[in-house]
Amino acid sequence: MPFAHRLTSLLLATVITAGTASGAVRDIDKEKWTSGASNGRPAVGDEVGILSYGSDGPVALVTVEAIHEDFDGMTSDPPADSFYVAVDLTIENVGAESVTYDANDIDLVLGDGSILFSSLMSLPEEEPGPLSSDPVPAGDTTSGRVLFVVPDGAAVGGVVYDDYYNMAILAATDDFPDHAPGETLNWTYQDVYYGEEYDLDVTITDTIDPYDGRTAPAGSRYIALEFTIENAIPDDGYRVVTTTFEMLVDGNQLRGAHWPRDD
């Protein structure tokens, strides 16, 4: 999630109530979450481990309890040419320290692959209420709802966790975007800061798995993917293609792109 969006969200955040339940820290099988044993994408109702930098396992388990398409629990109609989607989540702190999550950490995946940020509109306080941004102490569980304003005609492909540095797929629907390596994908979007339109053709043109040009850490392997990105805009204007934020995510874990240093 872009920093500016997160900052704006923080500034505009309203006070919301906590729905936190206390309890002892659950003794989970961390190997289950660190080995990638759960292949395939999680579905509604599955627990997904959320890692923290330096942790030896998940610090929280997040479950998407429900995805309410055409959510009708708001007091106002959705903006023109859009509809509401609400996502109910449960977050269990299974680490040793407090964790803090909020609606800014939850995004919606649409069927075309684009990721939609949560809405800043205030949700009603009725159960489960909006997802609280209050810290969740170790061993506690919190539940809450996150709202999205979705363009008409868009399909809901799933829900992702996104804390700017890490991402994880929390739940996928039948409309989750599926593509094969070698297939060229076209992405068009408009830069919100400079107004420039982008039109990129992105293709994975080679896969090296495992990539043995480097020694991977224990329990891990490297995968090298060759990308070809073309500026498909027919005019002669320049567009900057950045490669900073690609992440490869397995079905139930989050992994960042890795650029080994020349050590």
Binding to other proteins, residues 80-119 (CB under 8 A): 107, 109, 113-115
Residue 54 Ramachandran class (φ > 0 left, ψ -120 to 50 alpha, else beta): left
Q: Judged by CB under 8 A, does residue 197 bind other proteins?
A: no
| Planar angle of CA 109, 110, 111, nearest 5 degrees | 125
Report, in Å, the least distance between residue 164 CB and other proteins.
10
Task: Please state, in angstroms and rounded to a whole number, the distance separating the CA atoms of residues 256 and 247.
Answer: 5
Q: Judged by CB under 8 A, does residue 217 bind other proteins?
A: yes
Stretch that binds other proteins, among 20-28, 94-102, 123-131, 231-239 (CB under 8 A): 231-239
Q: Judged by CB under 8 A, does residue 255 bind other proteins?
A: yes
Query: Which residues touch 41 (CB under 8 Å, ≥6 apart)?
Result: 158, 169, 171, 172, 176, 251, 252
Q: Judged by CB under 8 A, does residue 215 bind other proteins?
A: no
Q: Which of 23, 40, 151, 153 binds other proteins (CB under 8 A)?
A: 40
Residue with tokens 């969740």: 136
* Amino acid making up residue 121: M
Q: Judged by CB under 8 A, does residue 191 bind other proteins?
A: yes
* Amino acid making up residue 110: L
Residue among 88, 97, 122 nearest 15 (CA): 122
Q: Judged by CB under 8 A, does residue 173 bind other proteins?
A: no
Q: Judged by CB under 8 A, does residue 68 bind other proteins?
A: no
Q: Judged by CB under 8 A, does residue 206 bind other proteins?
A: yes
Taking the C-alpha atoms of 90, 176, 168 and 15 in order, what is their torsion angle to the nearest 10 degrees?
A: -50
Q: Judged by CB under 8 A, does residue 233 bind other proteins?
A: yes
Q: Which of 18, 43, 52, 68 binds other proteins (CB under 8 A)?
A: 52
Stretch that binds other proteins, among 69-77, 84-92, 123-131, 235-243 (CB under 8 A): 235-243
Q: Judged by CB under 8 A, does residue 212 bind other proteins?
A: no
For residue 240, the tally of other CB atoms under 10 A from its CB is 9
Contact 13, 5 (CB under 8 A): no
Question: For residues 28 and 216, which CB has a smaller minimum distance to other proteins in the complex?
Answer: 216
Q: Judged by CB under 8 A, does residue 15 bind other proteins?
A: no
Question: For residues 12 and 240, which CB has a smaller minimum distance to other proteins in the complex?
Answer: 240
Q: Which of 24, 81, 193, 215 binds other proteins (CB under 8 A)?
A: 193
Q: Judged by CB under 8 A, does residue 220 bind other proteins?
A: yes
At residue 7, φ and ψ (nearest 5 deg) are -65, -45
Instruction: Specify the 3-state DSSP secondary structure of 64.
Output: strand
Q: Judged by CB under 8 A, does residue 226 bind other proteins?
A: yes
Q: Which of 18, 28, 55, 120 binds other proteins (CB under 8 A)?
A: 55
Pair of tokens at residue 202: 């992105």
Q: Judged by CB under 8 A, does residue 120 bind other proteins?
A: no
Residue with tokens 């509109």: 121
